[in-house]
Amino acid sequence: MFQRLAHANIDKAKWDDCIARSTNPLPYTFSWFLDVASPGWDALVSNDYKYVMPLTHRKKFNTAYLYQPYFTQQLGIFSAHELTQEIAQAFVNALVEYFKLIEINFNYGNALVKNMQPVGKQNIKWEPRVTHHLDMSVGYDSLFENYTASRRRDVKKVKQSGLVVREETSGDWLIDMFE
């Protein structure tokens, strides 16, 4: 079901396509970002990139472990398809097979993983972390309606200041800043 791919064997076009189409995309899970934040990252891939998970790993005292790289708030499982209990359990089982220590934050779309125990190992402790996630799928007008009066005034001030927001398709500027 799962394949652990070494960094050199990851098809980055398929990876980035899976992330872009996922129900829980995060900018720092694209291959170009992971290449900078965690050089040599590996991947768990299922069904030809239907489900993917970055493995940001290191070794300490000859023990492999997963860590949360700087500037990557959440990692975990990504897919355009529903994350079922069975798939989440398979990912958790695979993780403990490869790593003795796992210190990563699963993303907001991985709620099924919470309190899940790998088969045959009941000593996993999950520590909940709080993050605030704003659902952008409802559209800006709907979001704006729910702003407080002071927040709406702040938005008007920003519009009057002449600030310009533009969409970037390349992450080169971010890589330069990170380096």
DSSP 105: P
| Dihedral pair phi/psi, residue 131, rounded to 5° | -140, 155
Map 2-30 to HEC letters.
Answer: EEEECHHHCCHHHHHHHHHHCCCCCHHHC
Mean pLDDT, all residues of the chain: 87
Q: How far apart are CA 28 and CA 68, in angstroms?
A: 11
Total-model pTM = 0.74
Is residue 172 in some structural domain?
Answer: no
In a domain, 53, yes or no: yes
Alpha carbons 118 and 110: distance in angstroms, whole number: 15
User: Is 109 part of any domain?
Assistant: yes
pLDDT at residue 166, rounded to an integer: 77
| Domain at 111, CATH number | 3.40.630
**According to the model, what pLDDT value does residue 128 have?**
66
pLDDT at 33: 95
Count of structural domains, the chain: 1
Print the domain residue range for 69. 2-134
In a domain, 160, yes or no: no
The SS3 of residue 94 is helix
Tens digit of each residue's pLDDT (9 = 90 or more) over 45-89: 998 999 999 999 999 888 889 999 998 999 999 999 998 888 888
pLDDT confidence of residue 34: 96
pLDDT digits (tens, 9 = 90+) for 103-119: 888 888 887 777 777 77
167 within domain boundaries: no
Residue 175: CB atoms within 10 A of its CB come to 14
- Between 170 and 147, residue with greater pLDDT: 147
**pLDDT value at residue 40:** 95
Position 122 scores a pLDDT of 56
What pLDDT was estimated at residue 113?
78
159 in a domain, yes or no? Answer: no
Determine, yes or no, domain membership for 171. no
Q: Write the single-letter amino acid at 122.
A: Q
What percent of the chain lies above the pLDDT cut of 90?
A: 44
What pLDDT, on a 0 to 100 scale, did the predictor assign at position 125? 67
Residue 9 in this model has a pLDDT that exceeds 80: yes
Instruction: Give the H or E element holding residue 53.
Output: strand 51-55
Evaluate whether residue 140 is within a structural domain: no
